[in-house]
């Protein structure tokens, strides 16, 4: 403890200077965030530009200015920290995703989403690991061992769900959104879990025993993480229903929801589970039960406050990525071997595209085998969109790459330096170029037959081939708000045809009979089925 206090006092002495730097950094960052919001708003009508691209561009411009201002010494004001990313920025984004997701869509597509998110990510991981190990041999990339190649596989199988979300709109294309985005969350979790598992296992010799234990470990992590999220979500519903019954205090309710959601993430991280999965399911359970137990004001507040926190975190990440691009040190080392670096980035981009194609099309094919009618199959156009939407790489890849390639040395080693700059190049290229093309591509493949302000029958029919096989009775988001009584009327007919609907039907019975009496939720005021994103509160 004497040491501790000594360290604190030294820290305080050092901090007088560091303080001023961090105050300046924070001020600049907050000012840039404001600029991103205002400029993003002004560019809203532009169909080619989204908020991620705006933030990256502003980050790049600021980085350039800083580079000149510091005479080439540094292009960024904050050092990228995994802790900042994984402990503070990622949880609100993923929690909000779970909180605002259209639950019905998500759970009806559950099998497809998880097969894409888990099996798909594993396929992608294998292809990128093997491919890079084979192809990098012919390039002089410095020393990379087996664990590095496996890490590369995990790093580049993590799609950027944040960026994808901004490209698709939940209101315009609810089911395509739910599929692509649901896969994105499961994929994030899977790649982080793989990455962490790789560091624990001794993979110097891969035997079937090791592979089996690896698979068992993954399954265990998925199951426990999900259960933890559900448990904390139910706890919040129970506490708020039990204690706050009749005498609501808005600030306490909102504070408790925020803190418990964050607690679920932290507990998962503490026990080395997947916080991403935990907080995602916590968000779903909270929107299904807790959200209905609080006052009207708390509902509006939580809905918008969570969305705002997530929004700020997203811009923060992209702004940082933009500023970090020009960081000169990495490029100095790589500069002498620019050709190699470009080759590495190109190979990785190629492997990413192949790795994704290698599961989207086969898994869609398998999924289509189970569909009887031709109109129920996943069409080629939609497979292409699903493939394309997952090509972006973002902050998760960055964070994992920093973890792997700055931990075992620093970026002055050639191999590490090349991998870091390649990661940045790929994130930048995929977000800016692929992101730029996505909106026009979707418009081209699925031309809107009506104004987007009225996304009803016409849009439904235009995208039918994608979601009809996933939604057995062909209903979309619109009929949903008529409540589950509507579903029940037609459910007997559907029951024998589609097992997923049967599961949903029995879940509803169970939910109404056992869950809602204990945990509250909309069941007490029978009527509209909704999540915070669906209910029109304004």
Residues 49-78 that bind a copy of itself (CB under 8 A): 73-74
Asked if 367 contacts 378 with a C-beta cutoff of 8 angstroms, the reply is: yes
Q: Which of residues 498-517 bind a copy of itself (CB under 8 A)?
A: none
Tally the C-alpha atoms within 13 A of residue 137's C-alpha that lie toward its C-beta. Answer: 7
Per-residue string for binding with a copy of itself, 81-120, x by CB under 8 A? -xx---x---------------------------------
By the rule CB under 8 A, 418 interacts with a copy of itself: no
Token readout for 145 is: 């061992």
> Which two tokens mark 478?
């619109």
d(CA 348, CA 131): 9
Residue 84 CB, nearest approach to a copy of itself (Å): 12
Using rule CB under 8 A, residue 295 touches a copy of itself: yes
Q: Which two tokens stand for residue 360?
A: 């989207």
275 vs 273: CA distance, rounded Å: 6
Is residue 398 a contact partner of residue 89, using CB atoms and an 8 Å limit?
A: no
Judge whether 289 and 520 are in contact, CB under 8 Å: yes
Stretch that binds a copy of itself, among 14-22, 163-171, 203-211, 284-292 (CB under 8 A): 14-22
Least separation, in Å, of the C-beta of 49 and a copy of itself?
Answer: 15
Buried b (16+ CB within 10 A) or exposed e, 407-429: eeeebebbbbbbbbbbbbbbbbb
Binding residues for a copy of itself, rule CB under 8 A, total 76
Footprint (CB under 8 A) of a copy of itself, residues 264-283: 266-267, 269-270
Out of 156, 244, 289, 434, the only residue in the binding site for a copy of itself (CB under 8 A) is: 244
Does 535 sit near a copy of itself (CB under 8 A)? Answer: no
CB of 41: closest distance to a copy of itself in angstroms?
6
Contacts of 27 (CB under 8 A, 6+ apart): none
256 binds a copy of itself (CB under 8 A): yes
Buried b / exposed e across 113-146, counting CB within 10 Å, b at 16+? bbbbbbebbbbbbbbbbebbbeebeeeebbebee
Residue 6 lies near a copy of itself (rule: CB under 8 A): yes
* CA neighbor of 98 nearest in space, from 182, 213, 35: 182
Q: Minimum Å distance from CB 302 to a copy of itself?
A: 9
Q: Tell me which of 47, 304, 336, 509 binds a copy of itself, using CB under 8 A.
A: 304
When asked if residue 297 is in the footprint of a copy of itself (CB under 8 A), the reply is yes
- Other residues' Cβ atoms within 10 Å of the Cβ of residue 500: 17
Q: For the CB of residue 251, give the shortest distance to a copy of itself in the complex, in Å.
A: 5
C-alpha 165/C-alpha 181 separation (Å) is: 6
Residue 434 as a binder of a copy of itself (CB under 8 A): the answer is no
Task: Kindly state the smallest distance separating residue 17's Cβ from a copy of itself, in Å.
Answer: 13
Which residues in 446-485 contact a copy of itself (CB under 8 A)? none
* Residue among 203, 238, 252, 474 that touches a copy of itself (CB under 8 A): 252
Sign of CA dihedral 484, 303, 442, 317: negative
Least Cα distance to 175 among 522, 431, 469 occurs for 469
- Eight-class DSSP state of 85: I
Distance between CA atoms of 263 and 282, rounded to whole angstroms? 10
* Contact region with a copy of itself (CB under 8 A), list: 23-31, 204-212, 213-221, 380-388: 23-31
User: Least distance from C-beta 270 to a copy of itself, angstroms?
Assistant: 5
Contact code string over 202-241 relative to a copy of itself, x by CB under 8 A:
-------------------------------------x--
């Amino acid at each position: 403890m004497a040491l501790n206090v000594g360290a604190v006092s030294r820290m305080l002495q050092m901090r007088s200077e560091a303080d001023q730097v961090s105050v300046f950094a924070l001020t600049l960052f907050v000012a840039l965030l404001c600029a991103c919001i205002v400029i993003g708003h002004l560019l809203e009508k532009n169909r080619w530009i989204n908020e991620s691209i705006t933030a990256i561009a502003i980050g790049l411009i600021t980085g350039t200015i800083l580079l000149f201002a510091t005479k080439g010494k540094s292009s960024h004001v904050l050092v990228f920290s995994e802790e900042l990313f994984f402990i503070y920025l990622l949880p609100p984004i993923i929690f909000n995703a779970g909180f605002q997701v259209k639950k019905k869509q998500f759970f009806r597509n559950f099998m497809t989403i998880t097969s894409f998110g888990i099996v798909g990510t594993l396929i992608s991981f294998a292809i990128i690991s093997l491919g890079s190990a084979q192809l990098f041999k012919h390039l002089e990339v410095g020393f990379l061992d087996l664990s590095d190649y496996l890490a590369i596989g995990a790093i580049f199988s993590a799609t950027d769900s944040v960026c994808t979300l901004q490209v698709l709109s939940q209101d315009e294309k609810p089911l395509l959104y739910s599929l692509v985005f649901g896969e994105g969350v499961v994929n994030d979790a899977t790649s982080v879990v793989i990455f962490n598992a790789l560091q624990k296992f001794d993979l110097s010799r891969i035997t079937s025993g090791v592979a089996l234990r690896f698979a068992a470990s993954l399954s265990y992590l998925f199951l426990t993480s999900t259960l933890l999220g559900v448990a904390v979500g139910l706890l919040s519903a129970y506490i708020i229903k039990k204690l706050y019954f009749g005498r609501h205090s808005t600030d306490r309710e909102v504070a408790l929801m925020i803190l418990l959601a964050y607690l679920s993430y932290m507990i998962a991280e503490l026990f080395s589970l997947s916080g991403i999965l935990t907080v995602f399911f916590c968000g779903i359970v909270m929107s299904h039960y807790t959200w209905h137990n609080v006052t009207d004001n708390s509902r509006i507040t939580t809905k918008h406050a969570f969305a705002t926190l997530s929004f700020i975190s997203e811009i923060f990440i992209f702004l940082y990525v933009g500023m970090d691009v020009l960081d000169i040190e990495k490029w100095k080392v790589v500069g002498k071997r620019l050709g190699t670096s470009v080759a590495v980035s190109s190979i990785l981009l190629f492997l990413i595209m192949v790795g994704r194609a290698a599961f989207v099309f086969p898994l869609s094919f398998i999924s289509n085998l189970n569909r009887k009618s031709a109109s129920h199959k996943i069409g080629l156009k939609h497979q292409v969109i699903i493939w394309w939407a997952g090509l972006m790489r973002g902050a998760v890849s960055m964070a994992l790459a920093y973890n792997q390639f700055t931990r075992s040395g620093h970026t002055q080693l050639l191999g590490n330096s090349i991998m870091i700059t390649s990661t940045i190049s790929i994130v930048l290229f995929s977000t800016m170029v692929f992101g730029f093309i996505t909106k026009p591509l979707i418009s081209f493949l699925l031309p809107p037959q009506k104004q987007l302000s009225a996304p009803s029958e016409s849009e439904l029919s235009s995208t039918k081939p994608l979601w009809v096989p996933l939604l057995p009775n062909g209903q979309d988001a619109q009929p949903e708000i008529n409540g589950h009584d509507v579903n029940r009327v037609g459910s007997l007919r559907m029951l024998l045809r589609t097992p997923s609907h049967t599961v949903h039907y029995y879940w509803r019975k169970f939910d109404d009979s056992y869950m809602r009496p204990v945990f509250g939720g909309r069941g007490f005021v029978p009527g509209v089925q909704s999540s915070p994103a669906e209910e029109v509160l304004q």
